Chains A and B, each alone.
Chain A
Amino acid sequence: MIYLLLFLQFFKTGLFSVGGGLATLPFLYEMSNNTGWFTHSDVADMIAVSESTPGAIGINMATFAGFLTAGVPGGIVATIGLAMPSVIIIIIISKLLSKFKDNKYVESAFYGLRPASIAMISAAGINVARIALVHMNVLSEGGSFLNFFNLPAIALAVVLFIAQKKLKWHPVIFIAISALIGIIFHFGGV
């Protein structure tokens, strides 16, 4: 029974959260209030964990909440519940798209959608850079301008940029190297 409840709750979350992982947060807080399956501080912990593991936060949160509520099967059921609505909707859209692919209006819509898509990707990059390459808090605390830049991180970014261009290795290799450098040089400041 608990599995069915978990499935339905996360199905609802998956159905109504539009626009990526963080859009699931309001639903998770509401679920916490209504069911008591997990606390608000569990959600906060999970944001931190999600940022340090692969996968999207919505998925991670479903696994975590399901596990807390009903063990390993709970974790799996909740995650599938979250994924199900988007899978169904995307399959329907795919079907329509293959039908109307050469339609003039669909093509024109994509003329507008592509710059929008790349604008959002650029903005996501800027958001990561804001955390990774500079110290935003220095500005509000009135520190010196030089401290604003996280110089070791910027140096790593430049090296990675050039290396990636020259070497053409798989991105995963660069991710692993960056993790190692982060550990060796204490990039997290701890």
Chain B
Amino acid sequence: MKELLELYLAFLRIGAVNFGGGYAMLPLLERDLNEKRHWTTTEELMDYFAIGQCTPGVIALNVSTFIGYKRKKIPGALAATLGFLTVPILIILVISAFLTNFADLPVVKNAFAGIRVCVCVLIFQAVLRLWKKSVPDNIALILYLVIFGITVCSGLLPFKVPAAVLVIAAGVFGVVWQTAKERRRQG
């Protein structure tokens, strides 16, 4: 019970400050769950994000469920997910009830313009930290560059490639490449 409460509270804290969507969650997870509590490893976090990208639902929730399940099976998954949801639900209920013009308030606009700068920096630093473990060799680097290029230029391309398709293709490529490498080594 104590561990479930701990899970709930850890994700409540992350949910309360997770501005800017699922990927902005990564620096917080790294700090709170990886470095401080050793609940996950960097590799696991990367795997969760990759899978969260090609399964239904909000990525942040998928990642919460994954980590919760890893700690304490189904009760853990529920505790982490509810923890992550708690503060956003409360904030939106308060805003919808009292502050219909919330997003137009100058103080909100200015504060968030500042927060966005910070979110960029945090994501950039997370990428630097995760780089070595996620991109171990040149083949992985090429894969990174191709997917990065397609995703960043998605607005300029004449066709749209859904993120889920890219992720699945990368997984299939991993299997094909590693199997071929194995064969060459043996043959």
Binding site for B on A (CB under 8 A): 14-21, 24, 45, 48-49, 51-60, 63-64, 67-68, 72, 75-76, 79-80, 82-83, 85-87, 89-91, 93-94, 104-105, 107-129, 131-133, 153, 156-157, 160-161, 164-165, 170-172, 174-175, 177-183, 185-190
For residue A16, which residues in chain B have a CB less than 8 angstroms away from its CB?
Answer: 56
In the bound complex, do residue A19 and residue B54 qualify as a contact, i.e. CB atoms below 8 Å apart?
Answer: yes
For residue A165, which residues in chain B have a CB less than 8 angstroms away from its CB?
Answer: 125
For residue A107, which residues in chain B have a CB less than 8 angstroms away from its CB?
Answer: 178
For residue B140, which residues in chain A have a CB less than 8 angstroms away from its CB?
Answer: 111-112, 114-115
In the bound complex, do residue B120 and residue A133 qualify as a contact, i.e. CB atoms below 8 Å apart?
Answer: yes
The secondary-structure label for the interface of chain B is helix
A151 to chain B, nearest CB (A): 12
For residue B123, which residues in chain A have a CB less than 8 angstroms away from its CB?
Answer: 121-122, 124-125, 128
| CB contacts between A and B, total, < 8 Å | 366
In the bound complex, do residue B15 and residue A86 qualify as a contact, i.e. CB atoms below 8 Å apart?
Answer: no
Binding site for A on B (CB under 8 A): 15-24, 26-28, 31, 43, 46-47, 49-62, 65-66, 69-70, 74, 77-78, 81, 85, 87-89, 91-93, 95-97, 100, 102-104, 106-127, 130-131, 133-135, 140-141, 143-148, 151-152, 162-164, 166-167, 170-175, 177-179
With known contacts A115-B135, A115-B143, A79–B53 Cβ distance under 8 A: no
- Cα(A20)–Cα(B59), bound, Å: 5
With known contacts A117-B53, A171-B31, A91–B22 Cβ distance under 8 A: no
In the bound complex, do residue A109 and residue B58 qualify as a contact, i.e. CB atoms below 8 Å apart?
Answer: no
Closest to B95 in A: A49
For residue B66, which residues in chain A have a CB less than 8 angstroms away from its CB?
Answer: 90, 93-94
In the bound complex, do residue A83 and residue B167 qualify as a contact, i.e. CB atoms below 8 Å apart?
Answer: no
In the bound complex, do residue B114 and residue A156 qualify as a contact, i.e. CB atoms below 8 Å apart?
Answer: yes
Closest to A116 in B: B170
With known contacts A75-B93, A112-B173, A118-B135, A124–B57 Cβ distance under 8 A: no
Residue contacts A-B, CB under 8 angstroms, 29 given: A19-B162, A20-B21, A45-B100, A45-B103, A53-B95, A55-B87, A57-B21, A59-B58, A63-B93, A67-B97, A112-B170, A112-B175, A113-B46, A113-B170, A116-B50, A119-B146, A119-B148, A119-B151, A121-B26, A133-B120, A156-B118, A157-B117, A164-B121, A171-B122, A181-B114, A186-B106, A188-B112, A188-B113, A190-B106
Residue in contact with A85 in the complex, picked from B57, B70, B78, B118, CB distance below 8 Å: B57
In the bound complex, do residue B174 and residue A113 qualify as a contact, i.e. CB atoms below 8 Å apart?
Answer: yes
- Cα(A185)–Cα(B104), bound, Å: 17
A60 to chain B, nearest CB (A): 5
In the bound complex, do residue A18 and residue B88 qualify as a contact, i.e. CB atoms below 8 Å apart?
Answer: no
In the bound complex, do residue A83 and residue B81 qualify as a contact, i.e. CB atoms below 8 Å apart?
Answer: yes
- Cα(A122)–Cα(B125), bound, Å: 10
Closest to B78 in A: A87
Residue in contact with B58 in the complex, picked from A54, A58, A110, A177, CB distance below 8 Å: A58
List 4 extra interface pairs beyond A83-B61, A109-B174, A157-B120, CB under 8 A: A90-B57, A114-B46, A160-B121, A182-B110
In the bound complex, do residue B56 and residue A128 qualify as a contact, i.e. CB atoms below 8 Å apart?
Answer: no
Closest to B108 in A: A52
- Nearest 7 pairs of A and B residues by beta carbon: A182-B114, A112-B174, A86-B57, A55-B88, A188-B109, A116-B170, A108-B178
With known contacts A86-B57, A113-B171, A171–B88 Cβ distance under 8 A: no
